[in-house]
Amino acid sequence: MVLLSSRCKIHMTTSRWIIITMTLMLMRIGESMRLDLESGMTKCISDDIKLNYMTVGTYTVVNPNEAHHLPASHKIHVTVTSPKGRTQHHAENVESGKFVFTAMEDGDYTTCFVAPEFRPPAKFAVDFEWKSGVEAKDWANIAKRDHINMLEVEVRKLLDTTESIHDEMFELREREREMQELNRSTNSRMAALSLISLVFTLSVAGLQLWHLKSFLERKKLL
């Protein structure tokens, strides 16, 4: 009985550490990157965003010379589209910007950066940060609005992240179920196809034997 209790404690401790590790990994997720562009070039970034998840993106063209204004060649067009092609954000000839929206569809949302044609061609970089889900929430404003301390904010973050993990696990289970059904359906079809192929092969072999026998009988060789 004592041994069983110890095993249960070990199992619970291991599960707890797994959940904490996954939580910390998810909390660190934030799509922050630097894109290299050239006049006339287009670069697109996609992110899989869940239904009703908030997403926040900020972008800034890197000024090659902080002492001077940004050159006219370093302006971009930015468009964010949903999986079904709906425009969530659009800006033209800008050097920086931000978009915030709640996903109305499941799937890949795409952000495209277009550097207009310019002569002579110019090369420059764009800093882009894209967050969704728990990371997209403005926790500072939440703490100020609800009059809570940072410890409670961290607890809320953990709770939200745990819910995200829970949703992901159910989604993975659903995908696994769909894959199992697909595998079963494929196996059934392959079995039927193999049976049909075997019957067809045996039929052709029987027909060939009958034709050969008839030929030999006509030639009086059999």
List the structure tokens of 177: 């179920």
Task: Give the model's pLDDT for residue 200.
Answer: 93
71: left (phi over 0), alpha (psi -120 to 50) or beta: beta
Q: Who's near 157: CB < 8 A, 6+ residues apart?
A: 27, 134, 139
CATH code at 34-153: 2.60.120.380
Task: Give the model's pLDDT for residue 22.
Answer: 45
Task: Give the model's pLDDT for residue 39.
Answer: 92
Indicate the length of the chain as a whole number.
Answer: 222
Task: Give the model's pLDDT for residue 138.
Answer: 62
* pTM flag (> 0.95): no
Task: Give the model's pLDDT for residue 148.
Answer: 67
Q: Most distant CA pair in the chain: distance in Å?
A: 107
Q: Average pLDDT by consecutive 10-residue portion of the chain (222 residues)?
A: 39 43 44 87 91 90 84 92 94 93 91 92 92 70 64 72 77 87 92 92 91 80 66
Task: Give counts: helices (H), strands (E), the chain.
Answer: 3, 8
Task: Give the model's pLDDT for residue 60.
Answer: 94
Buried b (16+ CB within 10 A) or exposed e, 39-69: beeebebebebbeebbbbbebbbeeeeeeee
Domain boundaries along the sequence of the chain: 34-153
